[in-house]
Structure 1
Amino acid sequence: MSTSMSTTPDTPVTPSVEPAVATRPTAKPRWGIVAVYALGLALALLCLFSTAGGAETGFRLDSANTWLKLPDVTVPARTTVVGLTVVLAVVAAWVASRRGHAPAWLHALGGLAFILAMLVWAAADTDSVVPVVSLLAGALALSVPLIFGAMSGILCERSGVINIAIEGQLLFGAFAAAVVASLAANAWLGLLAAPVAGALVGALLVLFAVVFRVDQIIVGVVLNTLVLGLTGFLFSTILSQEKETWNSRQELPELPIPVLSQIPVIGPVLFNQTILVYLMYVLVALLHVMLFRSTWGLRTRAVGEHPKAADTVGVDVNRLRVQNVLLGGAVAGLGGAFFTIGAGLAFGRDMSAGNGFIALAAMILGRWSPKGAVVAALLFGFTKNLGNVLSSIGSPMPTDLLLMLPYLVTIVAVAGLVGRVRPPAAEGKAYVKGRG
């Protein structure tokens, strides 16, 4: 038998080498983001054409609690809107020409140019000035319960448990904080009661979702309805009839941080707050570090992605889920305290007003990351307070549109800026040891 092909040292066989060709497809610009920028540019141009020549806009940067008093700034409205529109157009063109994701600072620059153009247009030739410190401080205040709620959702859903009950946890935390603070005439005791109340709602979620393996979304909706009905009944009976005893106003004091609170503009906004806001700062930083830089965070993410693999290496899946859901409930309850003792208000029926569901949207918008969720919550809080400020300075925008503004911005951000997101793979799936 002879071979059909032979080789000798004089005629070595060299394998044919195909030229290297890039097989990875070329990244394309995300047209949803381009559409958002096109919409923003169209609105900026509309503001430009409707701004009267010679009009001026004033901005108030001063605050009574800073060591450096800044004068009001007045700018020519039309010229300023032209400049900001040009900046927005350049950013939009840059984003459209890029392949793949644009850097975050580029989006921040474009968003800032658009917001400033809207403010300059809205306050042009009015008797009012734009109160910058009040605008930012109010935005932060409206974001606080959203951030606590989003952190609660991250703790639960990173573990594989869907927490639709954030709304109920916020509401029950607000209720417990108000009642305990009223009975004890001490807002600090109310602050301690709020996370306990939120954890109680979390315990019911654990009982039905983890222990009895009931559908987690149904359990969350039922718990929201339960808390709404219970607090509404108690409000209309005991709290309303004996208001001074059960539902008097108690407020946490502001704790200005020396030196930092005296910084112009940002000092009064960030460093002249109650203990709740400072706890929020610590919670966000701690949760981000722990989730991505600790053994607990690795186990939590493993349980949310592949519980059977985590069980194989010795992680007690259901025990970790129970712990994280209880912790998440306590965090949401702490956020609920901001509605009452954090804002110096008595408890009111349904005073959480859907913030739990907005917190869920912020969590998804932030891609289940503490940093991203904070940015999303601040975006919603800012747009909501922006509507309030525009209404107070006599903006030509219709009142109904101002009320819709935060929800419109949230929808546009989710549809255009976020795109497709992927939740933890095991989210909403009960785990039975030995069956996966």
Structure 2
Amino acid sequence: MTTIAVSTDDVLPETTVIRSWKTPIALAVFTVLFGILIFAAPRAGETTFRLSSSTDAIQLPDLVLPVMPTVIVCLVLLALLTALSAFLVRSRAHSPLWLVVLYVLVAIVGFLTWAASGAALPVPGLLAGALGLAVPLIYGALTGVIGERVGIVNIAIEGQLLAGAFTAAVVGTITGSPIAGMLAAMVSGALVAFVLAAFAIKYVVDQVIVGVVLNVLVTGLTSFLYSQVLQSNAAELNAPPRLDRIPIPLLSDIPIIGPVFFRQTLLVYIMYIAVFAVWFAMFRTRWGLRLRAVGEHPQAADTVGIKVNPTRFWNVLMAGAIAGLGGTVFTIGNGIAFNKEMTAGAGFIALAAVIFGQWDPIKATLAALLFGFASSLQNSLSVIGSPVPSEFMLMLPYLVTIFVVAGVVGKSRAPAADGVAYVKA
């Protein structure tokens, strides 16, 4: 008997490792820009970070940092993190999320120290403002995650937020009840989602086109009603009540995080519950398994008895109701009258948070918080008289959006059937 030796190298195909250099390249570019900024416009003096407000039960001492030594240390750390990212991509083919998060934190500390030189920056106020601005983005991001996980690209998040803001203002004013306004906003958001679902699922129209048309339709309709109806009857139709802040005993007294997270309105507390509920349901329940199956492989889901199109339809409607609720932040959430196009592109930033968060509710929430922080930073630096040009500050939230989506996301895969209509054979 003859024994034939076969090498496994002749049988098994060689595995090709695909490396994405987007993250280290983006970090390197940002590091160079940060270095140019601090050396082209050096600033002397100290920056004071106020860690407590006058109403806090526990007072923390101010943190005072010398400007140039601090920003130089931050620049060195950014360079080291960039080098580490390149090394990890070369050896492991990817750059971990924790490295990007650490890089962002170091960059924020360095930039704040430089921009607020000679001034005192209230950290709790900055963080509270970031959370407040991120709330509608988080609601919108949850809407996008649910829609795309079930296979429907929801470009109409902007329209759903705007419809929710308009309806909440009108119903809240007429009834005098913020709760009634919130419920009406959920209905209006679901109605916009109904139109999206009907055309995308029933009539197999391109989902992106339907979403864009719905955004234009809602913007035009609410602007027309504002000009023709609300302006002339502002006291009766456009003076929404404001949700009161509800401090949670003990938790609201925790330094820094207490005033930020636990002295909020009902909308924010509902948001906490919604983020956990969507994450838990999506990855720990039968509903979530069916939802993800429909978004990944609708043919296989149909084969095992899951009704693909009804599953998509009802989940898109539920997601629309979530977006409508998020729209109430712009009106009754802050006691502000409705105005034309007051969402100001929040729905599109929410879509960016969905991509940055890799279609995961928790990661998308963190991305929305980052974008909210960029907007809050713009406001805070303007108040303290930072030398940063106002035009740059207005661009900051959108620059952060482009930076993280185009450069930091790395390799990211959408659900396989995302945006693909399903027609049963």
Same fold (TM over 0.5): yes
Matched-pair contact (CA < 8 Å) for 1:60–1:132: yes
Q: How does 1:33-432 map to 2 (within 5 A)?
A: 33-50=23-40, 55-98=45-88, 99=91, 100-124=93-117, 126=118, 128-432=119-423
Q: Which residue pairs with 2:5 in the alignment?
A: 16
Supply the RMSD in Å over aligned alpha carbons.
1.9
Aligned-pair CA distance for 1:54: 5.3
Aligned counterparts of 2:43 and 2:377: Cα–Cα separation in 1: 25
What is the TM-score of this pair, normalised by structure 2?
0.94
Aligned counterparts of 2:60 and 2:238: Cα–Cα separation in 1: 41
- Give the letter for the 2:263 counterpart: N
Unaligned stretches of 5+ residues in structure 2: none
Aligned counterparts of 2:252 and 2:131: Cα–Cα separation in 1: 15
- Give the letter for the 1:202 counterpart: A
Further displaced range: 344-353 or 327-336 = 344-353
Three-state SS of the structure 2 residue aligned to 1:278 is helix
Matched-pair contact (CA < 8 Å) for 2:371–2:401: yes
Aligned counterparts of 1:195 and 1:398: Cα–Cα separation in 2: 39
Matched-pair contact (CA < 8 Å) for 1:162–1:427: yes
Unaligned stretches of 5+ residues in structure 1: 1-6, 8-12
Aligned counterparts of 1:249 and 1:425: Cα–Cα separation in 2: 43
The 1:256–1:178 alpha-carbon spacing in structure 2 relative to 1, beyond 3 Å, is same
Matched-pair contact (CA < 8 Å) for 2:139–2:323: yes
Aligned counterparts of 2:100 and 2:415: Cα–Cα separation in 1: 26
Three-state SS of the structure 1 residue aligned to 2:48 is strand
Matched-pair contact (CA < 8 Å) for 1:47–1:118: no
Aligned counterparts of 1:392 and 1:53: Cα–Cα separation in 2: 19
Equivalent pairs, count: 420
Aligned-pair CA distance for 1:91: 1.4
Aligned counterparts of 2:210 and 2:43: Cα–Cα separation in 1: 58
Any idea what the Cα deviations from partners look like across 1:29-64, whole Å, max 9, x if unmatched? x42211222123223323443565751111111123
Aligned counterparts of 2:224 and 2:17: Cα–Cα separation in 1: 60
Aligned-pair CA distance for 1:413: 1.1
Q: Which residue pairs with 1:4 in the alignment?
A: none
Aligned-pair CA distance for 1:25: 4.1
What is the TM-score of this pair, normalised by structure 1?
0.92
Three-state SS of the structure 2 residue aligned to 1:242 is helix
